[in-house]
Chain A
């Protein structure tokens, strides 16, 4: 009975001061429809995200979200926010649903955003220093491995190729507008774009380099590989964004900026991205087909 009373008291106190509970946890929104949490937990194992010094991908597929969850936590921690970060699955698919972060319902996203998609919201959002700088994000020209004609393609022969691209992926679209290839506009699921490769409707599509040793990507039993020695720079930088209207927005952003600066100085950001395969060191010496976009 006494314990019941104590419990009621505690609940009452929490009800009176809800901020005490909220202040304890920092929430970052992550995409609900992709099962990053599970893979995230698998990567961490028994380790705390703050303890990750070296990252080893344990599966195929993109590790961008996972490594960014780790970078975000480490940066905030280094920036002075020692409290745990809670990643909340969210329905957001694009910036049409950016309203919650604009109005402060959501504090921040658990992953970085392209600058171009967030720049118009800079009146409402804090945009961090770039975690992936302009020119660091590269992708390969993937083709179905059965299409042996593409095994070896010279840069001069690219104008003969057709590439499928989604105009809503601005960075991809802009990158390819500055390549010699003929672009096929496609708005739809990513899997369908792969099907276009399988059916030889198009020759290639732009895909982040795979973490596998041979850079090959496997999807539903089919293998895809990048055209050897050619890569595309995505002409944008990626940033974390924090809501200006969230009560803890400013505080979190400042910690984030501070932490990112420290990590950048330590070379940790680049290292973790490289280890996750987001920035792929295997293609370091490959030719950039849109290198004119890197002009300063």
Chain B
């Protein structure tokens, strides 16, 4: 135990400080480990290498360190870790030079070969060859040798031989690569049963250069010599050489080499007639090959596991991708639906907004219309009211303008406005020869009205005027017209009146006025006797020529008759009636006396005495 610890110490002590050393020293130390020490100490290197990888910034060295790690893992059959280390190396090498890439490829090819993934290995080594053909002879030659070995393991011996011939042509015969190619060529020559060729090839190796080869390669050389001895019938030599080699490799993991040696031993013993030993080594050979088969099976299982893991990973990736796609689609759908919803909401909102606006507008319009209607109605009512008011006022105004405010009788204005239609009506009748009825135009004036005003005051005067108005109203027909002509003067127009009735009417009126004593303020003591003078004429004055005497002429004639009644008597009436005159109305009027005298105009009156005319 103590011895083992000491050995471990001596073996590992120089290695423990590798992390601080130059990488190349570390690399060399690994390369120089003896076959037996390798197994014991190479694993100790792993932590140092990991530290080195984590600390170094030199990616080329990092890649090289990863390659060494992969080699160490490979020695322990830790294929998974080896694959990982080389995967990392590959990732790093992607950004580095072709030589580093090719070197990683070569390591990967070795690993693939160990896993019996021949096609992968061939692919990797071909890439390495292609990458270094014109740039790096060392890796190129290494790649060619590995390719040759690959063909050998695949059992394509002829391709393998060709490969090694190519290597031997490329390198000088004092190099390790030449020796290696020779050894492997001899091995194949033996496989093909050509021991002479094998011998020739091996003789081409300069023994002094054999040391250039690594320990395991030297062992392979020895193995071939042993096999050659057996093929040549030197069974005892073969047996002793094999045993020696077998003893040397005991405790190592070179199972393949050991199996080959056991196979040789078994066959050599058989051919030396030592069946017991032959059987013993055959058994050992079987055990070793079983172990190798188990190892292969493990490798296959590992590969299957890796493939399975990869497939699962890919499946998971696919699933995740699908899920992601689904969730994307779902999200997209949701987003779309949301968008749709938003759009619909927006549309709804707009619709409602529009409807609301429309409703508001309609409401406003309706309100406006309502208000307008209301205003209109109010205005209408107002207008109506105003119109009514206006009408009332107009009526009032009209009334006011047409009536006398004191007596309520029509005034001269009214008469002027309305008389023309009366005149034309009468005139038309006479023009048509249907005229019998005249318009009697009678002017009436209160006698001594000035005295009444002076005596009883103007209020009494007004009362007189009012009471007289009533009396006059009472004495005329409704169809007749009574107008306050001015002051104490009234105009009566009797419609459809025959001339012969006029005198009676005048007399009757005179009498009724006379009879009707005026009382002031209901006071019986204040009675005022009242008489009126009247003068009248008629229209048309000349019935033959109704238009000869116009209204003004007729009024003037009536006025002249009134004047005559006043001047000649008072409380009297005078009336002019047309007889026949050649003179014009103006002439007649201006010289009424002549006309009367000439009986061109007849005079009616209640005055008995002779009447004088102005």
Residues of A participating in the B interface, judged by any CB pair closer than 8 Å: 96, 98-99, 102-103, 115-116, 118-124, 127, 170, 173-175, 177-178, 180, 235, 244, 290, 292-296
Contacts and interface: CB of A to CB of B under 8 A. Distances in A.
Contact of A293 (B158, B267, B282): B158
B383 interface: no
A108 B157 CA distance: 28
Interface string B365-409: 000000000000000000000000000000000000000000000
Given A123-B230, A295-B162, A178 B267 contact: no
A127 B273 contact: no
A177 B118 contact: yes
Contacts of B267: 120-121
Contacts of A244: 233
A295 B154 contact: no
A115 B195 contact: no
Contacts of B156: 174, 177-178, 235, 290, 292-293
6 contacts: A119-B193, A120-B231, A122-B193, A173-B155, A293-B159, A295-B162
Given A102-B270, A174-B154, A294-B158, A124 B231 contact: no
B158 A295 contact: yes
Interface string B97-121: 0000000000000000000001100
Interface in B186-200: 190-193, 195
B155 A235 contact: yes
B235 interface: yes
B38 to A, nearest CB: 30
B155 A177 contact: yes
B233 A295 contact: no
A288 to B, nearest CB: 13
Contacts of B80: none
Nearest to B296: A185
Nearest to B118: A177
A102 B266 CA distance: 13
B241 to A, nearest CB: 14
Interface string B252-296: 000000000001100100110101001000100000000000000
Given A115-B192, A115-B193, A116-B191, A123 B271 contact: yes
Interface residues of B, number: 30
B234 interface: yes
Given A103-B273, A123-B230, A96 B193 contact: no
Contacts of A103: 273
Contacts of A122: 193, 195, 231
B190 A119 contact: yes
Contacts of A180: 119
B348 interface: no
Given A102-B271, A121-B267, A123-B235, A177 B193 contact: no
Given A174-B155, A178-B154, A178-B155, A99 B270 contact: yes
Nearest to B238: A123
Contact of B233 (A118, A123, A235): A123
Given A99-B278, A123-B230, A235-B158, 20 more contacts: A99-B275, A102-B271, A115-B192, A116-B191, A119-B231, A120-B227, A120-B230, A122-B193, A122-B195, A123-B232, A123-B234, A123-B235, A174-B154, A175-B155, A177-B156, A235-B156, A244-B233, A292-B156, A293-B158, A295-B159
Contacts of A174: 154-156
Nearest to A95: B267
Contacts of A123: 230-235, 271
Nearest to B229: A123
Contacts of B230: 120, 123
A292 B122 CA distance: 14
B194 to A, nearest CB: 9
Listed from nearest, the 10 A-B pairs whose CB atoms lie closest are A174-B155, A123-B233, A119-B193, A124-B271, A177-B154, A293-B156, A120-B267, A295-B158, A178-B156, A122-B231
Nearest to A170: B155
Which of B118, B155, B270 has the most A CB atoms < 10 Å from its CB?
A: B155
A113 B125 CA distance: 35
Nearest to B119: A180
Contacts of A124: 233, 271
Contacts of B154: 174, 177-178
Contacts of B159: 292-293, 295
A96 to B, nearest CB: 7
Pick from B158, B190, B231 the residue with the most CB of A within 10 Å.
B158
B271 A121 contact: yes
A51 to B, nearest CB: 33
Contacts of A121: 267, 271
A292 B118 CA distance: 15
Contacts of A178: 154-156
A123 B156 CA distance: 25
Contacts of B271: 102, 121, 123-124
A127 B193 contact: yes
| A121, A123, A180, A292 interface centre (most CB from chain B within 10 Å) | A123
Nearest to A176: B155
